[in-house]
Every structure is written in C-alpha cells, then in structure tokens.
Amino acid sequence: MDTPSNHTFDTAVIGAGLAGLTAANRLADARRSVVVLDGLGAPGGRARTSLLGDHLVNQGPHALYVDGHARRAFRKLGIPVEGEAPPTRGTRGLYDDRLHLLPAGPVSLLRTSLLSPVEKLAVGALLARLPRIDPVPLDEVTVADWLDSVTARPAVHDLLAALIRLATYADCPEMFSAGAAIRQLSMALSDGVLYLHGGWQELVDALTARAEAAGVVFRHNGSVTGVLGDAPHLTIRTATEDLSARTAIVATGGPETAERLAGATGLARAAGPPVRAAVLDLALERPPDHRFVLGIDRPVYFSVHGPPARLAPGDQAIACAARYLHPDDDDPSDVNRATLEDLAATCGVQASTLLADRFLKTMTVAHGIPLAAQGGLAGRPGIEAAGRPGVLVAGDWVGPEGMLADAAVASGWAAADALLVIP
C-alpha cells in the first residue's frame, strides 16, 4: 500500500523485528492505521534466516519456547508455528575435557557419569522441585549467590549453572537475577523448545503478510533518526523523509537506540548489559556423531538444529556451536573461533563433511540482562520508560514478562494494547 507522506498515521512502529511486527498486527486488528519503519531493507531483525550454501541458518541458535509468551501470541494471531523438539537422546555434557552422557530430565540424570551417586540425588531432587520454587523472593538474588546457597558440590554447581546458561543464553551469574533464571529454566525443563522448520523467517514472513493484509504500511527505505514533537503530533524523521503519526512504538535495537530516538535517559542502565555469544554455523554433509553437547565447566554449546528442523537438503545437516560471552569478555575473535572449531571436532564434525561455515564473532542475543540489582524481570524498563506520553518502547529488554523472543513479543503486544485505550 502506498500512502502519501503527508498522511498522519495512528501509530508509527519503529523496527520490524518480532516486537514491532507483533505490535503492528495487534494495532491493525483494531483498525488503527500503522506504518512500520525499518532501515534494514527487509523485516525480521534478528529473527531473519539466511542461506549458508543450500542450508538455512538463523541469526545464532534460535529456539522457540513451547509455553512462552511468543507462542501464545502467535496462536492468538493465527500464525502457524511448525517445528520439532531438539534431539535430547544421547545428549552429552562436556566436563574436564571429557564427554559424559547427560540424559534429559531430573530423574534420568541419575544415569549420568558426570556426577557421583550423592551428587545425582542432590541435583535430581533440586530439579524435580524447581517448578515449585517461588521465584519472587529470588528476584533480587544473583544466580551466583543462589547456586552457592543450594549446593557446595562443584559438579552440581557447574551443572546447574550450565542448564541456566542453556535456558537464558547468558553467562553472567554474578549479575543475573536468580528469580528470572528459575522461571526460564522451569519453563525449559517442563515444556521444552522447538527448532522451527524453515527457520524463524517463516514466522517473520507470516507476521509481515498478515500485517500487510490488514493494511499496515511498511517502509524500508531509510533508518529512523528521531521521534520529534509531542503526541498526537509526532514527526518521525528518517534518512529519506518525515512522517506524521499520533503515537509511536520504538521497537528497534536496544535501550541505547531507544534513548537516542525517543530522547530518554537511564534505559541502558536499567536494562543491564546485552547478552552476547560467539557463534559458528556449520553446513554439513551429514549429522555428526553427537547431536547435542552442553559445556558444563566452560560456557559452550553445540546442537544440530537440522534435522530435526527442516533446514538442510536431503540427509545433510545444519549445526551450531556457540560460546556464551560474559559482558566483560574481551577474548579476540580468533580465540573464540578456535574454541568453537575444537568443540565441533569433539562433537564429531569432520573436515571432510564440512560444506560451509559462518562465524559470528559477537552476536547480540538479547539487549539486556534481568539484573538482580534491579529486581529481575519486574525491574526492567517498562513500555512507558521513554517518559513521553504516546511514545512507548518494546523489545527483548522491556517489561516484566518473559525473556528473549518471549519478552519482545510480550512487550510489543503490551505496547499496542496501551495505545488502543487512546481514542
């Protein structure tokens, strides 16, 4: 749809990632006029999928939580989600330079060679009661302090820390809220995740097509440089044109971007440092010996995403090796790449089966960490954190609900709902 530049939209949504696309669909369903602006040339943000040879790769190791906010929102919007659970049979833990069988589930952990009999009972009991732990009193407690309080056994401590890294993608236990981590780990252990067929691009395309069918206008021809004026007379300034809108949702980049576009302050401090990872994507002629390996005494991860997801042609495979990066991590990229290449070799990847690879030296997984010092999820910046009536923010660092894609979708939905009460 082509709309004159002097038209005033009800809402300008800045950013076409999951938060922005969710908000746009929600507003369009209420018959609000919406323009989505994104300077990347195509919608999706970090949910886009690209080609590595003939293989599909996401922007790092993506998994959709089965019972998360995003899945529930997509269901309400009628967006199909198709995928398969990760391969858990034969899962290995990498500990002390050795691979140990790491069966899935609290009870089956009793069969692992990683722990002593006493340690098996301790970790099994703790994981079994994890869903019954009230996370609220732990929102202001760090993961490091919580782990120290529940076990003095190094192997148990390291295994629990590894499971939290896996569920949250973060390696920052001295800052991360234990309450937020327990919520996330409980959801991961109870309902699990899906690797999506066709990659996350399938979700992006479905959300975009639905929005366009509802009348949403997309502009990808220039990055937004500022949100000027006061609602209901906002000017959305881009590199190529100015657009008028009554309200706006800033759903692009992280808190620093929101500060710059909306003229807000203090968002980055409240959101905490970004969650980052070094990632090595591998297009393989066939799956390796080990489909899923989790680093126990080091912050690394390896998983074959396709199969089970349909991401590779025929009997070929797509795998992902990752190193969770601490906010203070300054290891050079060549060190991280060598670490991930060694991990892939340990998992059975052979040079003769490698068709192509892609190294992402510093990938942003999420734009903020739920800080214990801020009260966990409840202490993250809210949708009204810009401090300007009619100008809201959304993203994976915003709001009290969920983490990662779940937080992006939940905050996008909440921001749209907040604007719907404005006549």
Tell me the CATH number at 30.
3.50.50.60
366-399 pLDDT, tens digit each: 999 999 999 999 999 999 999 999 999 999 999 9
Is the pLDDT at 164 greater than 60? The verdict is yes
Question: How confident is the model over 175-196, as a mean pLDDT?
Answer: 95
Is residue 80 within 8 Å of 71, Cβ to Cβ? Answer: no
Query: Do residue 111 and residue 225 come from a single domain?
Result: no
Query: Do residue 389 and residue 264 come from a single domain?
Result: yes
Least confident of 62-66, 190-194, 342-346: 190-194
Examine residue 59 and state whether it is found in any structural domain, yes or no: no
Give the H or E element holding residue 83. Answer: strand 83-84
Examine residue 162 and state whether it is found in any structural domain, yes or no: yes
Question: How confident is the model over 81-95, as a mean pLDDT?
Answer: 88
Is residue 103 within 8 Å of 109, Cβ to Cβ? Answer: yes
What's the pLDDT at 234? 97
Examine residue 249 and state whether it is found in any structural domain, yes or no: yes
| Residues 168, 150: Cα–Cα separation, whole Å | 19
What's the pLDDT at 106? 41
Query: Do residue 397 and residue 251 come from a single domain?
Result: yes
Is the pLDDT at 113 greater than 70? The verdict is no
Query: Do residue 247 and residue 387 come from a single domain?
Result: yes
Query: Do residue 137 and residue 254 come from a single domain?
Result: no
Query: Do residue 187 and residue 208 come from a single domain?
Result: no
Residue with tokens 């302050």: 265
Other Cβ atoms less than 10 A from the Cβ of 80: the count is: 10
C-alpha separations of 88 from 29, 42, 64, 189, 366 in Å: 39, 34, 16, 12, 25
Query: Do residue 152 and residue 110 come from a single domain?
Result: yes
Query: Do residue 379 and residue 258 come from a single domain?
Result: yes
Query: Do residue 212 and residue 254 come from a single domain?
Result: yes
pLDDT range class, residue 17, cuts 50, 70, 90: very high
Examine residue 303 and state whether it is found in any structural domain, yes or no: no
Question: Range of 17's domain?
Answer: 8-48+201-272+372-420
Least confident of 118-122, 208-212, 264-268, 302-306: 118-122
Examine residue 342 and state whether it is found in any structural domain, yes or no: no
Domain boundary among 168, 193, 218: 193
Examine residue 377 and state whether it is found in any structural domain, yes or no: yes
Query: Do residue 150 and residue 12 come from a single domain?
Result: no
* pLDDT > 70 in the chain, percent: 96
Question: How confident is the model over 76-94, as a mean pLDDT?
Answer: 90
Examine residue 261 and state whether it is found in any structural domain, yes or no: yes
3-state helix, strand, coil in the chain (%, to 5): 35, 25, 40
Query: Do residue 116 and residue 187 come from a single domain?
Result: yes
Query: Do residue 107 and residue 189 come from a single domain?
Result: yes
- Contacts within 8 Å (CB) and 24+ apart, 128-137: 130/106, 130/182, 130/185, 130/186, 130/189, 131/186, 131/189, 131/190, 133/182, 133/186, 135/178, 135/179, 135/180, 135/182, 135/183, 135/376, 136/179, 137/179
Domain boundary among 193, 226, 246: 193
Is the pLDDT at 15 greater than 80? The verdict is yes
Looking at the structure of the chain, the number of domains it has is: 2
Q: What's 117's domain CATH number?
A: 1.10.405
For residue 388, which phi and psi values (nearest 5 degrees)? -125, 120
> Chain-wide mean pLDDT for the chain?
93
Is the pLDDT at 329 greater than 50? The verdict is yes
Domain boundary among 143, 162, 193: 193
176: Cα separation from own chain's centroid: 16
Examine residue 95 and state whether it is found in any structural domain, yes or no: no
What's the pLDDT at 171? 96
